[in-house]
Structure formats: C-alpha cells, structure tokens
Amino acid sequence: MIRVGIMGGIGSGKTFVSKLFNCPIFNADKQVDFIYRYNKKCFRDLRKKLPIYIKSFPIKKSELINAISSNKQSLKIISSIVHPIVRRNMKKFLKEKKSSKIVVLDIPLLIENKLFKKDDVLVFVYSNKSKILNRLKKRKNYNKKVLQNLNQNQLGLLRKKKLANYIVDNNFTPSIMKKKIKILKKKILYERNCS
C-alpha cells in the first residue's frame, strides 16, 4: 500500500486535490468534525480543561473559535485532546484499507504531529494568495484571528515544500487539475512498482 500525504497551507486546496486521486482518503478535518459531534469523552475532557468556553454537547465550532481567538494556549489544549483520537482513527483506517494500492492522507498537521512514515509519498499543494483568500472567505467558520493561530501551528510552508516528493500547482481549472493528478497518480504507481 502506497501512502500519499497531502501537504500545503490553509486554503491551498488539499482536500480538492486529495479527492482527485480517486482512492480511499483519510480526511483529518472530517474526523475532527465527527469527534466534536459524537465523542462525549472528548467533550468532557475539553470542558474540564476549558470550562469558560466549552459548555454544550455536541461541541460547537463557535465555542472552539472563541477559545482559540481568546487564548493562544487553547489551541494546544484542544490539540492534545483531539489529536490522539485522530491518530487512533487513522490507524484503524489504514488497517481497513491495507489491500488498497494507494491511500491518501489529507492531514493538515501530517508533519507536525509525526503522522508520516519515511517511505510515504509527500505531495505539496500550493495556490495563489488571492485564490486561497477567496476559498477561505467561502468557509462558514472563516475567522481571521483563528486562521492566524492555526497557520502559526503549521510548519513553515517552505520546509514542507522541501520535504515533498511532488509539488502540485493548484491554480488551474478543475478539469486540468483532474488530468494533472491522474498523471501524477500513474507516475507514483510506476515509480513505486519499479523501485
């Protein structure tokens, strides 16, 4: 099984590119949403550590945004509770998909949380600043201050770019991007089968 880790800044189009691979995807953001909605233990742990902000279950995004924008330490606290659950879910996903040729790991903090392996194929996705801003503004939970805190939590983009095996320019139309990723997928399969 080839593990393809998708990296890039917030709003660069990592999830869009992940879907174009047409393979099983582990999407960390979706996992986190699911955890906030259904994991009562996570809620109890967060309420214990952040009682001023976390008040009701399912956990509301507005309460989390409030916590992160009010106190920089809140993001570390939230991460320390949520990330181990995401890690467990990822292990379960990989076990379930072990017969797949390729799986895609769409995890914003793949490098920071040491969720990658030495032989993973790392793909760095980038976009123009204007395109990124437009994408972010379309999001329901767009909050400039929260985005700044989240950005600070991500490893420098230049370092991620250097770690990447492939770099994907996500400034094209969806149909062109589809073709680009199809070629990239074939290349990854060919190179791995030859090595």
Q: What share of the chain is helix, strand, coil (3-state, %, to 5)?
A: 55, 15, 30
Which of the four pLDDT bands, split at 50, 70 and 90, describes residue 142? Answer: low
Say which residue the tokens 């990447």 belong to: 164
**Is the pLDDT assigned to residue 22 strictly greater than 90?**
yes
**Is the pLDDT assigned to residue 128 strictly greater than 90?**
no
Cα-Cα end-to-end distance for the chain: 14
Which of the four pLDDT bands, split at 50, 70 and 90, describes residue 71? Answer: confident
Greater pLDDT, 45 or 150: 45
Query: Alpha-carbon distance 172 to 189, whole Å?
Result: 24
**Is the pLDDT assigned to residue 14 strictly greater than 70?**
yes
179-185-187-191 Cα dihedral, nearest 10 degrees: 180
Which residues is 39 bridged to in the sheet?
none
Query: Alpha-carbon distance 2 to 186, whole Å?
Result: 12
Domain boundaries, the chain: 2-194
pTM: 0.85
pLDDT tens-digit profile of 36-58? 999 999 999 999 999 999 999 99
Rg of the chain on CA atoms, in Å: 17
Say which residue the tokens 């770690």 belong to: 163
* 2-194: CATH number: 3.40.50.300
pLDDT tens-digit profile of 89-115? 999 999 999 999 999 999 988 888 888
